[in-house]
Amino acid sequence: MKTAVRKLKNPPSIISAASVCGAKEKDGPLGDYFDIHDSTDTFGKDTWEKSESEMQRLALNCALSKCNMRDSEIDALFAGDLINQCISSSLGLIDFDIPFFGLYGACSTAVEGLILSSSLIGNGTIDAAAVVTSSHNCSSERQFRLPIEYGGQRPPTAQWTVTASAAFILEKCSKPPYITHVMPGRTVDKGITDANNMGAAMAPAAIDTLVRYFSETGKRPEDFDGIFTGDLGYEGFSIVTELMKNQGYDIESVYSDCGLLIYNRQAQDMHAGGSGCGCSASVFASYLLDRMKKRELNDILLVGTGALMNQMSVQQGQSIPGVAHLIRVQNSYDKEGGK
């Protein structure tokens, strides 16, 4: 196995980010951090699929206007989502005249897009890029499980697909925060077959990526202000905390998960926490980047986690591999520093 961590020569800046969310996310502890919300979750559209597309359109529009840019100034657009054939992205972003790279990384899509865009900017291939992703509870539930109108019961390990979208604009190194290091994850299959326990399916991939990151760089968990996984929820969070300790890395004091941050476990009963492409994307675009701007956080690891399955693969008894992509985001960086 070759080294997977890449230090970007000219770390690109995240010059703008925007988030769009639904009612439950607005009611949650991070509600005030999101830019746009719709308490009906419809965003004025007549199907849930169109609502999700509209969220992406709003997110990218908002991110572009925040940094005063037009689509004609962006070299590449990286986008993906959970809906079959990623139509939320391709139909939602059709108005933007930007070369389009469709991604599928399940819930790791935002970080996958940030790795690819920052690598292309960091090494001079392009100057500016946008990354967009989304998930919608109602379009996801009816595609993967049952229409929510059926009122099906969910086991305690089940996570709640977040209704949210986020967009990021990256540009050549100009101002903090910077994406300084990237590390794409490999797919990890530990034989989990329970589609209602995605946290357990994704946790082994997060551990694989984190352990390899620490081992390749010589860094320790305490070197960071925070380590955030994408959407492991309570199940996955406990597994990662416990098994990382077994591997010699006590991450507990700096570790959190976007699927835990987005809802209030006491006031909102979301079972095992949030999940979906929009989960880590919207938490990073709003709450985490805001804390970086305020210098409460200056050096973090964001680990996007994805469960690689579809309805039929689960029905056919196939296990659910996970993948975890990592980026290091810093307010300042050492031009000559090591790995």
Task: Identify the CA nearest to 284 among candidates 329, 315, 240.
Answer: 329
Binding piece for a second copy, criterion CB under 8 A, among 86-94, 222-230, 236-244, 259-267: 86-94
Shortest distance in whole angstroms from residue 268 CB to a second copy:
27
Q: In this structure, what token pair is assigned to residue 136?
A: 């919608």
Amino acid identity for residue 211 in this structure:
V
Binding piece for a second copy, criterion CB under 8 A, among 35-43, 103-111, 230-238, 290-298: 103-111
User: Measured from the CB atom, is 18 or 98 closer to a second copy?
Assistant: 98
User: Measured from the CB atom, is 34 or 96 closer to a second copy?
Assistant: 96
Cβ atoms within 10 A of the Cβ of 20, count?
31
Alpha-carbon distance 257 to 252, whole Å?
11
User: Measured from the CB atom, is 119 or 241 closer to a second copy?
Assistant: 119
User: Measured from the CB atom, is 116 or 162 closer to a second copy?
Assistant: 116
Half-sphere exposure of 135 (CA within 13 A, CB side): 31
Residues 25-44 that bind a second copy (CB under 8 A): none
Phi, psi of 42 (to 5 degrees): -90, -25
Shortest distance in whole angstroms from residue 284 CB to a second copy:
19
Binding piece for a second copy, criterion CB under 8 A, among 160-168, 183-191, 243-251, 257-265: 183-191
Cβ–Cβ under 8 Å, residues 131 and 89? no
321 near a second copy (CB under 8 A):
yes
Residues 120-139 that bind a second copy (CB under 8 A): 120, 122-127
* Residue 227 burial class via C-beta count within 10 angstroms: exposed 0-12, middle 13-18, buried 19 and up: buried
User: Measured from the CB atom, is 46 or 336 closer to a second copy?
Assistant: 46
215 near a second copy (CB under 8 A):
no
Q: Which one among 11, 28, 184, 273 touches a second copy, defined by CB under 8 A?
A: 184
Q: In this structure, what token pair is assigned to residue 119?
A: 């690598």
User: Measured from the CB atom, is 31 or 102 closer to a second copy?
Assistant: 102
Alpha-carbon distance 273 to 262, whole Å?
8
Is 49 strand, coil or helix?
helix
Please state whether the peptide bond connecting residue 11 to the residue before it is cis, i.e. omega within 30 degrees of 0: no
Amino acid identity for residue 159 in this structure:
Q
Q: Which residues bind a second copy (CB under 8 A)?
A: 1-2, 4, 6, 47, 49-50, 72-76, 80, 82-87, 90-91, 93-94, 97-106, 112, 115-116, 119-120, 122-127, 183-187, 189, 306, 308-313, 316, 318, 321, 323
